[in-house]
Structure 1
């Protein structure tokens, strides 16, 4: 696996988000704890809301448009809602956020 350095963990506010542009579209980085970060699509599967502008709580984010809740771990909708958002492998190493390169390098042909 190849990892891409996205910056310092301090660049993402605690219980907040930051957006990075990739060949697969905008990826949202969510910092849920001092050294815990998740990466997902920035687009809500319900109405294309910007998830990075939502409320981060526990290991979930609530979309700012219609309050749909998404698991940052699995990408699955929570509660009575149905759907899935893309998630990407990410890790924190020496205070740096790294995302798995192959997952964001190019779009898959569909």
Structure 2
């Protein structure tokens, strides 16, 4: 199992999460409102963003990345994953069942 962290424009979180879940690319997604600070052309920028915390399988990272690139086109997206080794067995079983290759739309 992996957890993907994805920073999106404020207000985009629900729509993007629904698109990911409809395709069965993840089992669940938490959306957190965050304040982001970043560098842009040597200036510090600040904006409200949403952080998606996506629970999925490692082999679905590329599918989610493709979808996000389709949504945000030429923008650089902040997306990375962390492998999680210790997972509740019941949750892991549900993840495997709900995101099986047979269930994935547009696989």
Report the TM-score when normalising by structure 1: 0.28
Bigger relative contact order, structure 1 or 2, given CA contacts below 8 A and separation 6+? 2
Superposition TM-score, scaled by structure 2 size: 0.29
Which protein is richer in helix relative to its size? 2
